[in-house]
Chains A and B, each alone.
Chain A
Amino acid sequence: MHAKLSAIALSVAAALAVTGCGKKEEPKPAAAPAAAPAPAAKPEVLVKIGHVAPMTGPQAHLGKDNENGARLAIEELNAQGVEIGGAKAKFELIPEDDQADPKQGTLVAQKLVDAKVNGVIGHLNSGTTIPASKLYSDAGIPQISGSATNPRYTQQGFKTAFRVMANDVQQGKVLGEFAAKQGAKTVAIVDDRTAYGQGLADEFKKAAEAAGLKVVATEYTNDKATDFKAILTKIKSTKPDLVFYGGMDAQGGPMAKQMKDLGINAKFLGGDGVCTPEFMKLGGPATEGHYCSLPGMPLEKLAKGPDFKDKFTKKFNAEIQLYAPYVYDAVMVMADAMKRAGSVEPGKYLPEVGKTAYEGVTAQIAFDEFGDLKGGAISLYQYKGGKLEYVETLGGGAADASKAGEKK
């Protein structure tokens, strides 16, 4: 029901935006006005948390997944009756849609800044997170992304930028090493020209070449494409052992299928963007035996993982796509910092975010001086019988050391 309502609201907003009548009014959730008058017993403080992800377009399923993660965290916080600086905190989620488009990303970021949110969770894509992070930094609003993995996000020197997931330097390096370990000698690389896809492909390329692999083809697509036959045909002529894709599941799945149609027998390898149930749904049997990686450890292997999975599926009646647990953690880390600071003022609790030591669902979360997750491990998975099967976890301590070399 909620999903339907928000879909209608979104479409109305989209229609308004496109027809350009310039109205700034946002469809407000119906519950908001009713909640305003608080019982006088205790002072209440409203905490506005902005959340940004693509809610329309090819990655809308991931955006919805992220938003559900944030929603779950916020409802739990409200149910717990968290107190911040002696006042009862009431958390409110302000969801925004950036359409995975960098231009739209900065637009909604400005909107959140104008709305004086206390903190921002997101965005989903690196391509939208990076330009938006400047606006949040200028406004002094802490931002925690649960999914933007491009290293540049935290290397811009913004004190407000954090992420609760290993970055692509760590992930690309592990993927490169893994490719060599699988016995691949030649590799073709495809990326979708987004900050995430290109960044991951570049890091993978460095690591693969360092591990002695030969890159025989570099091809490109975009994050809305459905036809890859032309570039795959070209790749086929170079006879690679492995095809690496830096991009998201909506393209990766059909790509795996078209590889099979063209008679390419190479293994497919991708990063977190294709490590989803959606990838297997779209790719069908053609995904069998291919590999992908995810930052962190599998949920089943984490203390709080199975519990989170239960809560999530029960509440939303949907499978976790990808980043929901990370986004959930991001909200919890932000609330935790507010609690320790005893304030919801961005300027006051920001220093506490950096000092986080929080046991989250996805990892023991602590940030380094850049705002990156400390000791981010990367796990590899294989698609088997319509399920992601855990293969191994690489990196962690080792990936951290390598990152020191990257810092400039």
Chain B
Amino acid sequence: MDIFLQQIINGVVQGSIYALVALGYTMVYGIMGLINFAHGEVVMIGTLVTITVAGLLAAAGLPPILAGLGGLIAAVLCCMALGWGLERVAYRPLRNAPRLTPLITAIGMSIVLQNVAMIAWGRNYLTFPAFLPKANFEVAGAHFTAIQLFIVIVAAATMAGLMLLIYRTKLGMAMRATAQNPAVASLMGVNIDRVIAAAFVIGSALGAVAGVMVGTYYEIAHYQMGFMLGLKAFTAAVLGGIGNLAGAMAGGVLLGIIEALGAGYIGSLTGDFLGSHYQDIFAFVVLIVVLMFKPSGLFGEKTGDRA
């Protein structure tokens, strides 16, 4: 039983990170119907910027927690600028192009960002400095660390903040209006360019937070770390119904739990016929099954004009 609990903890922590990244995908998709495949790379840049800035601050004599906070702020600002730049340079000129064109640009931007990061930060794995004190708790035989707790709390708080922004502010209203019908929204005086840029900027800021959490959790970073993470988060977004914020969060946590339980139990369930190396395919098998029976995702509504 303690093993089951431990796997759930593993899954929820991993899933919270997926959820934060998935929000970036789903916001952009909800507003402009574009899958921003470079989002995983934004997360990666966030992690690497944190390492550099926090390293400099720590070298300047700041205590680790403040250095970490400084790194986080720098990463968020950097990623916001990056998100805005991506939209301005790579997507805005293609706003009225066929849907495949911006998708290809997105993949291109992902490759460009990976290579820029490789040149800037090198090919080696980087160690992410430990900002938080190491504390290990044990509940009912399951171990968890302060960092894991911190990740879940920060993810939940960030997501709550986003919900407030979307449903309680004027900008959020403009975003929802644009998502429903950009043409009508613009006739009502909504500045579409600004709203789309805002979606990219906010999504990228969330990505930066997720990047810092990934770094804090695994304490390593690498210029290719964004790729698989982005793919999983995209899966989570589709699982929850892409374009739907609550769906992306639920999809992320669900995917994390499915993966952890899958890797933990597949061997014993199939009599060692299938082993834990099938961990990664779990996410995608679940995705295929959901899409077969509920193409709009678990929480997605039917959006005729988008489908």
A237/B3 in contact, CB under 8 A: yes
Q: Mask for A42-59, Cβ within 8 A of B = 1, else 0? A: 000000000000011110
Partner of B276, one of A221, A237, A278: A221
Q: A226 at the A/B interface (Cβ < 8 Å)? A: yes
User: Which chain A residues border B270 with CB–CB below 8 Å?
Assistant: none
Partner of A227, one of B14, B111, B118, B277: B14
CB-contact partner of B123 in A56, A218, A281, A282, under 8 A? A56
- Given the interface pairs A11-B115, A234-B264, A236-B3, the reply to whether A218 lies near B275 with Cβ below 8 Å is yes
Residues facing B in A280-297 (CB within 8 A) are 281-282, 284
Contact of B6 among A19, A218, A233 (CB under 8 A): A233
Would you call B39 an interface residue if the criterion is a C-beta within 8 Å of the partner chain's C-beta atoms? Answer: no
Q: Which of A11, A225, A226, A284 contacts B118 (CB 8 A)?
A: A11
Q: Is B10 an interface residue (CB 8 A)?
A: yes
Is B96 interfacial (CB 8 A cutoff)?
Answer: no
Interface residue stretch chosen among A255-263, A341-349, A362-370: A255-263
User: Chain A residues near B138 (CB, 8 Å)?
Assistant: 263
With contacts A220-B276, A230-B264, A257-B219 known, is A278 near B124, CB below 8 A? Answer: yes
Chain A residues lying within 8 Å of B11, measured Cβ to Cβ, are: 230
Q: How far is the CA of A14 from the CA of B123 in the complex (A)?
A: 14
Q: Is A222's beta carbon under 8 Å from chain B?
A: yes
Check if A221 sits within 8 Å of B277, measured CB to CB. yes
CB contact between B277 and one of A4, A14, A222 (< 8 Å): that residue: A222
Give every chain A residue within 8 A of B127 (Cβ-Cβ): 281-282, 284
Q: CB-defined interface of B1-28 with A at 8 Å, one 1/0 digit per residue?
A: 0010011001100100000000000000
Residues B219 and A230 in contact, CB atoms below 8 Å apart: no
* Contact (Cβ within 8 A) B143 A263: yes
Residue B167 at the chain A interface, CB threshold 8 Å: no
Q: For the complex, is B52 an interface residue (Cβ under 8 Å from A)?
A: no
> Known contacts A18-B111, A19-B108, A262-B143: does B277 contact A230 (CB below 8 Å)?
no
Check if A116 is an interface residue, CB within 8 A of chain B: no
B285 interface contact, C-beta 8 A: no
- Quick one: closest B residue to A231, CB to CB? B276
Q: Taking the nearest CB of chain B, how far is it from the CB of A226, in angstroms?
A: 5
**A24 CB, min distance to chain B CBs, angstroms:** 20
Cβ-neighbour of A57 out of B3, B224, B263 (below 8 A): B224
A285 vs chain B, min Cβ distance (A): 9
User: Does residue A271 face the partner (Cβ distance < 8 Å to B)?
Assistant: no
Interface check B307, CB cutoff 8 A:
no
Contact mask for chain B residues 157-174; partner A; CB cutoff 8 A; 1 contact, 0 none: 000000000000000000
| A236 nearest CB across to chain B (Å) | 7
Which residue of chain B is the closest to A258 with respect to CB atoms? B218
Residues of B near A387 (CB, < 8 A) are none
B123 cross-chain contacts in A, Cβ below 8 A: 7, 55-57, 60-61, 63-64
Q: Is A15 an interface residue (CB 8 A)?
A: yes
Is residue B279 within 8 Å, beta carbon to beta carbon, of the partner chain?
yes
User: Digit string of A360-391 for contact with B (CB within 8 Å is 1, else 0)?
Assistant: 00000000000000000000000000000000
Instruction: Report the Cα distance A64→B277, complex, angstroms.
Output: 28
B147 to chain A, nearest CB (A): 8
Contact A230-B260, Cβ < 8 Å, known A64-B123, A220-B277, A221-B276: yes
Which of A219, A226, A233 lies in contact with B225, CB distance below 8 A? Answer: A226
* Complex Cα–Cα for A226 and B14 (A): 11
Q: Are B276 and A219 in contact (CB under 8 A)?
A: yes
Q: Evaluate contact between A231 and B264: CB separation under 8 angstroms.
A: yes
CA distance A262 to B5 in the complex (A): 12
Indicate if A273 sits at the interface (CB-CB under 8 A): no
> Does A11 lie within 8 Å of B3, measured CB to CB?
no
What B residues does A15 contact at CB under 8 A?
A: 111-112, 115
Measured CA separation A15–B116 after assembly (Å): 11
| B220 interface residue (CB < 8 Å to A) | yes
* Min CB–CB distance A47 → chain B (angstroms): 28
Once the chains are docked, how many angstroms separate the CA of A274 from the CA of B112? Answer: 31
Least distance between A288 CB and chain B CB atoms (Å) = 14
A276 to chain B, nearest CB (A): 11
Q: For the complex, what is the distance from the CA of A221 to the CA of B228, rounded to whole Å?
A: 14
Could you say which of B3, B14, B218 contacts A254, with CB atoms under 8 Å apart?
B218
- Which of B115, B263, B280 meets A231, CB within 8 Å? B263
Contact status of A226 and B260, CB under 8 A, knowing A233-B6, A282-B127? no
A303 in the interface (beta carbon within 8 A): no
Q: Does the CB pair A7–B118 fall under 8 Å? A: yes
CB pair A261 B276 closer than 8 Å = no
Q: Is the CB of A262 within 8 A of B115?
A: no
Tell me whether A250 is interfacial, beta carbon within 8 Å: yes
Q: Which residues of chain A in 224-247 are interfacial with respect to chain B, using CB atoms and an 8 Å cutoff? A: 224-227, 229-231, 233-234, 236-237
A19, A222, A237: which contacts B280 (Cβ < 8 A)? Answer: A222
- Minimum Cβ distance to chain B for residue A331 (Å): 22
- Interface membership of A193, Cβ < 8 A: yes
Cβ–Cβ < 8 Å partners of B275 in chain A: 218-220
B87 at the interface (CB under 8 A from A): no
**B14 contacts across to A, CB distance below 8 A:** 227, 229
Distance (Å) between the CB of B136 and the closest chain A CB?
7
Q: Are A261 and B108 in contact (CB under 8 A)?
A: no
Q: Which of B121-148 contact A (CB under 8 A)?
A: 122-125, 127, 130, 136, 138, 143, 145
B260 CB, min distance to chain A CBs, angstroms: 5
Chain A residues, Cβ within 8 Å of B122: 7
**Complex CA–CA separation, A24 to B220 (angstroms):** 35
- A253 on interface, CB distance cutoff 8 Å: yes
What is the bound-complex CA distance between A376 and B130, given in angstroms? Answer: 40
- Are B218's CB and A227's CB within 8 A? yes
Q: Contact check, B10 vs A56: say whether CB atoms are below 8 A apart.
A: no
User: A230 to B119, Cβ gap below 8 A?
Assistant: no
Write out, one digit per residue, whether chain B residues 265-306 have a CB within 8 A of any chain A CB (1) or not (0): 001000010011101100000000000000000000000000
Beta-carbon contact of B219 and A254 below 8 Å: yes
Q: Ordered nearest first, which 6 A-B pairs have the shortest CB separation? A: A60-B123, A220-B277, A230-B263, A11-B115, A229-B10, A61-B124
Q: List 27 A-B contacts (CB under 8 A).
A: A4-B119, A7-B118, A7-B123, A11-B119, A14-B115, A18-B111, A19-B111, A58-B224, A60-B123, A61-B124, A220-B277, A221-B276, A229-B10, A229-B260, A230-B10, A230-B260, A230-B264, A230-B279, A231-B276, A233-B6, A233-B264, A234-B263, A234-B276, A262-B6, A278-B124, A281-B127, A282-B125
With A233-B264, A257-B219, A261-B145 given, can you name 9 additional A-B contacts, CB distance below 8 Å? A218-B272, A219-B267, A220-B277, A230-B7, A230-B11, A230-B261, A253-B125, A254-B218, A284-B130
